[in-house]
Structure 1
Amino acid sequence: MPSERLSVVVTRRLPEPVETRMKELFDVELRDDDAPMRREDLAAAMRRADVLVPTITDTIDAALLGQAGDKLKLIANFGAGVDKIDVATARQRGILVSNTPGVVTDDTADMTMALILAVTRRIPEGLAVMQSGNWTGWAPTAFLGGRIAGRRLGILGMGRIGQAVARRARAFGMQIHYHNRRRLRPEVEEPLEATYWESLDQMVSRMDIISVNCPHTPSTFHLMNARRLKLMKPSAVIVNTSRGEVIDENALTRGLRSGEIAGAGLDVYERGQEINPRLRELPNVVLLPHMGSATVEGRMEMGEKVIINIKTFADGHRPPDLVVPSML
Structure 2
Amino acid sequence: MNDSGSISASSVPRSLRWEDEEGGELYILDQTKLPGEVVEERQDSAEQVWESIRQLKVRGAPAIGIAGAYGLVIGLKPLVDLDLREFLTQAERIAAYLNSSRPTAVNLSWALNRMLAFARSNAEKAGTSAVLYKLLVGEAKLIHAEDRAICRGIGESGEVLLNEGCGVLTHCNAGALATSELGTATAPMYLAFSHGKRFRVYADETRPLLQGARLTSWELKRAGLDVTLICDDMAAYVMSKGLVNLCIVGCDRVAANGDTANKIGTLGVAILAKHFSIPFYVACPSSTFDFATATGADIHIEERSAEEVTSFGARETAPKEIKVMNPAFDVTPHELISGFITEKGIVRPDYRKNLERAFR
TM-score normalised by the shorter chain: which range applies? 0.3 to 0.5
TM-score of the pair, normalised by structure 2: 0.35
Structure number with higher helix proportion: 2
TM-score of the pair, normalised by structure 1: 0.37
